Chain A
Amino acid sequence: MIYVQPNQVLKTNTSTCEKKNVFMSLLENRFQTYGYKEVKTPMFEPYDLYSTVDGLIQQKDMIKVIDSTGKVLVLRPDATIPLARMMAQYTEDKLKTSRYFYMMDVFRQTESKTNNYNHMQAGIECFGNASPGIDAEVLALSKHVFQDIGFPDFTLEIGHAGFIEEVLSKLSFQEMEWKQLKTYLQAKNKNDLQTFLIDKEIDNSMKEILLAIPDLYGTPESIIPKVKELSLTNQMKKAVVHLETIYQQLELYDMADHIVINFGLLNQMTYYSDIIFQGFIKGVGKPVLMGGRYDTLTEQFGMEIPAIGFACDIDLILNMWENSCPKEKNKDVVIHYDDQMKSIKNAYRLANELRRANWNVLCEHENEETSIGNNTNYIVCIQDKFIFQNKNKREIFPAIQDILKKLTQSNEI
């Protein structure tokens, strides 16, 4: 999202917008080819919704506004939660698999980025189906999107929130210690983790698993056998088998390359219940895509509906994106006329015809000055004649039909 500031050069602004539109249409198209339908949710949401539901956005990060009755609202801080709520509240009976995609701004103010309130997110949510087949389809779709936009080395890192949750549920710590433990796991900091665990009274098999987690990172072929060697609980075994199944399905989609398994993956959104994943592209230090399965979130809104989804950070990706496959762009032309009635009439007629043929036309008096790009075509209407001019050539046409024919039928311009 670009944020128009007075000191920003408008020209770069417009070209960024154009680039973004092309980009978004690529995403939109790919989402649709997997059967997803677009939805939008309100920009303003009740503050209560986010302050009473567990595992959501930090309250201090949200942008609050007060309406005319004094009710406190927040600017939509997330797309998944309102969608999940919508599904839970407006679904009448048992839900069939429903696929939705969105392209919306989300608003958050984090410590590090205090001046950047809005983030463009594009993502999908699939409700009502908990099968590994859907998980694989969603992952395949995420890879497909990045193939489309020209990042063949897009790498998907997959973890399992249920697995970690199960390990942590066997431990009892104080809040400070939880924080420490999570920091060490997230940083794969084996050294400090080891020191931390020395004087903690934990079952040996759990200790073994905790210490193994930092190394449970790599290709599925190497990691899945490794994790199976540990003494896992039934719940953990189920999680591993689940990941294995998904991976096999991804092979069927031909999307099994650039997949890494990360058993230490933790998401700050604690509503994830099963697989969680992050996508990375070269040159961006942060994940450009995040998602996972959240089967229990909708329960907080009154009806349990299994769901999985992901969101792409559009701003991050756009920074890296070179428009490699531009959509056919309309051609630009500037038509100049003088004070003669005949000239004005011809100019207007020509402008009309060219616009109908999808040219971008600026029609103005010859004394006007408009800011335009370097490669613009000019047509000067003098009396009955049309003089065409651009960087490469200059040509005179005696009648409107001639110039129209030339411009709309030839590709050299």
Chain B
Amino acid sequence: MLTIALAKGRTVKDAIQILREVGYEFPDFHEESRKLIFYDEQQQLKMLFVKAVDVPTYVEKGAADIGIVGKDHILEAKADVYELLDLKFGKCKISVAGLKDSHSYPMENVTVASKYPTIARQFFMRKNIPIETIKLNGSVELAPLIGLSDIIVDIVETGKTLQENNLMVLDDIAKISTRLIANKASFAIQTEVIQLFIQKIQSVLEVKQ
């Protein structure tokens, strides 16, 4: 039996849907459930329902063989895993944003608030701009409004939240979509099972396109 870690949050519906199309039904699963472990009807897949940021960790440590999670969390965790498929849903981008009238970000003494301090640090290091990061766990948009930071690094889906808070995108860092990742040891030991699983998902994806 394969163990799959699934990220809670905005991509759950799509992820469950794609598993259903491949043939895995989770009868007792619903989003409000307090249960953390689910089995599919045929007892072939064990699903761990965990916080999105933790999915790369579960997979890297081998607590789950595979995982479905956003690219943002994979980049932030720098997890040493295989990234085998782009599932093409949960698309958004990770961007630098600041106050509307700022137009560009300062080149020194920059304070960046973000849920993704690693991604932010890497991006600005490549630009040779030294920054200080403030790790926040939500409502990151608030930080520049009250002067906690100069700019933010966050995911942008529609841009509505930014708009409503008088912020604008200053730079794009990366495109984000949901990925299927695998633990390297699991992939070696259960190569055929995992490859078959990937193939099934891939053919569902191809039909969708």
Shortest CB-to-CB span from A22 to chain B, Å, is: 25
**Chain A contact residue count (CB 8 A cutoff):** 26
Given contacts A187-B81, A188-B82, contact A286 B185 (CB under 8 A): yes
A176–B122 CA distance with the chains assembled, in angstroms:
11
Cβ-closest chain A residue relative to B82: A188
Q: Which residues of B contact A217 (CB under 8 A)?
A: 187, 191
Q: Mark B175-209, 1 if CB is under 8 A from A, else 0.
A: 00000000111111101100100000000000000
A285 & B183 in contact (Cβ 8 Å cutoff) = yes
Q: A39 within 8 Å of B by Cβ? A: no
Q: Mark B59-93, 1 if CB is under 8 A from A, else 0.
A: 11111000000000000000011111110000000
Q: A125 within 8 Å of B by Cβ? A: no
Given contacts A218-B191, A285-B63, contact A280 B185 (CB under 8 A): yes
Q: A283 within 8 Å of B by Cβ? A: yes
Q: B10 within 8 Å of A by Cβ? A: no
Q: Mark A77-90, 1 if CB is under 8 A from B, else 0.
A: 00000000000000
Q: A153 within 8 Å of B by Cβ? A: yes
Q: Which residues of A contact B86 (CB under 8 A)?
A: 191
* Chain A, range 210-239, C-beta contacts under 8 Å to B: 217-219
Shortest CB-to-CB span from A194 to chain B, Å, is: 10
Which residue in A153, A191, A262 is a CB contact (below 8 Å) of B189? A153
Cβ-closest chain B residue relative to A288: B185
A284 & B62 in contact (Cβ 8 Å cutoff) = yes
A218–B196 CA distance with the chains assembled, in angstroms:
12
A157 & B188 in contact (Cβ 8 Å cutoff) = yes
A287–B85 CA distance with the chains assembled, in angstroms:
23
Shortest CB-to-CB span from B67 to chain A, Å, is: 12
Which residue in A190, A260, A278, A283 is a CB contact (below 8 Å) of B191? A260
Q: A189 within 8 Å of B by Cβ? A: yes
Number of inter-chain CB pairs below 8 Å: 56
B83 & A188 in contact (Cβ 8 Å cutoff) = yes
Q: Which residues of B contact A360 (CB under 8 A)?
A: none
Q: Which residues of A contact B81 (CB under 8 A)?
A: 187
Q: Mark B22-55, 1 if CB is under 8 A from A, else 0.
A: 0000000000000000000000000000000000
Cβ-closest chain A residue relative to B189: A155
Q: A200 within 8 Å of B by Cβ? A: no
Q: A282 within 8 Å of B by Cβ? A: yes
Shortest CB-to-CB span from B59 to chain A, Å, is: 8
Shortest CB-to-CB span from B209 to chain A, Å, is: 13
B126 & A218 in contact (Cβ 8 Å cutoff) = no
A307–B86 CA distance with the chains assembled, in angstroms:
40
Given contacts A187-B83, A188-B84, A285-B62, contact A218 B185 (CB under 8 A): no
A395–B83 CA distance with the chains assembled, in angstroms:
67
A280 & B60 in contact (Cβ 8 Å cutoff) = no
Given contacts A187-B82, A187-B83, A188-B82, contact A155 B188 (CB under 8 A): yes
Shortest CB-to-CB span from B39 to chain A, Å, is: 20
Which residue in A153, A155, A218 is a CB contact (below 8 Å) of B195? A218
Shortest CB-to-CB span from A388 to chain B, Å, is: 49
A281–B195 CA distance with the chains assembled, in angstroms:
18
A285 & B83 in contact (Cβ 8 Å cutoff) = no
**Given A217-B187, A286-B184, 5 new contacts (CB under 8 A):** A192-B83, A278-B188, A280-B189, A283-B62, A285-B184
By a beta-carbon cutoff of 8 Å, the part of chain B in contact with chain A is 59-63, 80-86, 126, 183-189, 191-192, 195
Q: What are some 9 contacts across the A-B interface (CB < 8 A)?
A: A153-B189, A217-B191, A218-B195, A280-B185, A280-B188, A281-B185, A284-B62, A285-B60, A287-B184
**Nearest 7 A/B pairs, CB to CB:** A285-B62, A280-B185, A189-B83, A191-B86, A187-B83, A280-B188, A188-B82
